[in-house]
């Protein structure tokens, strides 16, 4: 099976504190991997580095055949927008926009960017709106598309965030404590959703979590301690 993510000897320090200590990691296409460990182990830092939101001090990170550590500026932003989706504990939805507009945003950004040669970027605003509406409907939010985040429950906001992460059909979905703020029923629904998404879209999904139930459902779990995998 194709390796979607390959990390070699990834290290990161903040001042005198070495947070990541030469990590090696890989994930196959369509695999769901859980990353667990105590707070401060370096899980979120590693996730942000894999997601190109932060640069490592050393090492390489290859996503879908591209060494992302060599990318800079607009090229890096373009790659991140096309290939990577993010779901965080706090939804980071734009409060002034509706659910539908929030989901459309990454595709509209991509459309206005430099990579107009691909089929995806040739879509017009109508097609992007249709795709966003389709995703919201699939996630049970079709009737909530015109609502702003303040008018949605926490679980609904998280599903909007997931739809937004999927709009550009990314190869990889990174999730950092995605169910951390949800009640038990909504949490179960969200966990089911992640695995149904994998079946439907085939994304590689990397989940940082403290939730044992979610971790146990992953294809594979790796544990971090003091910046290393056990």
- Tell how far CA 8 is from the center of its chain: 20
Residue at token pair 């109508």: 126
- Is the model more confident about 21 or about 106? 21
Distance CA 6, CA 60 (A): 8
Q: What is the pLDDT of residue 116?
A: 41
CATH hierarchy code of domain 3-229 = 3.40.50.300
Q: What is the pLDDT of residue 114?
A: 46
**Residue spans per domain, the chain:** 3-229
156 pLDDT higher than 90:
no
**For 82-139, how does the pLDDT look when each residue is reduced to its tens digit (9 = 90+)?**
889 888 766 678 889 999 999 998 888 776 554 444 444 455 788 889 989 988 988 8
- Poorest-confidence range of 21-25, 100-104, 188-192? 188-192
How far apart, in Å, are the Cα atoms of 38 and each of 12, 35, 41?
18, 10, 6
- Poorest-confidence range of 112-126, 154-168, 176-190? 112-126
This prediction has a pTM of: 0.83
145 pLDDT higher than 50:
yes
Q: What is the pLDDT of residue 58?
A: 94
CB of 81 closer than 8 Å to CB of 106: yes
Q: What is the mean pLDDT of the chain?
A: 86
């Amino acid at each position: 099976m194709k390796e979607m993510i390959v990390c070699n000897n990834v290290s990161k320090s903040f001042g005198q504190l070495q947070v990541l200590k030469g990590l090696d990691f890989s994930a196959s296409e369509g695999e769901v991997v859980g990353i667990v460990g105590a707070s401060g182990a370096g899980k979120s830092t590693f996730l942000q580095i894999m997601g190109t939101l932060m640069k490592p001090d050393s090492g390489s990170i290859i996503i879908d055949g591209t060494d992302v550590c060599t990318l800079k500026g607009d090229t890096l932003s373009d790659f991140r927008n096309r290939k990577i989706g993010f779901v965080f504990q706090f939804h980071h939805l734009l409060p002034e926009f509706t659910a539908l507009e929030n989901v459309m945003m990454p595709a509209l950004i991509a459309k206005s960017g430099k990579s107009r040669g691909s089929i995806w970027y040739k879509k017009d605003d109508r097609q992007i709106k249709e795709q966003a509406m389709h995703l919201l409907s699939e996630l049970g939010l079709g009737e909530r598309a015109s609502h702003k985040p303040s008018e949605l429950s926490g679980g609904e906001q998280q599903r909007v965030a997931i739809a937004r992460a999927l709009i550009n059909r990314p190869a990889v979905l990174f999730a950092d404590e995605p169910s951390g703020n949800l009640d038990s029923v909504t949490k179960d629904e969200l966990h089911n959703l992640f695995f149904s998404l994998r079946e439907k879209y085939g994304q590689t999904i990397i989940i940082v979590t403290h939730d044992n139930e979610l971790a146990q459902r992953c294809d594979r779990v790796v544990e971090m301690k003091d910046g290393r995998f056990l």
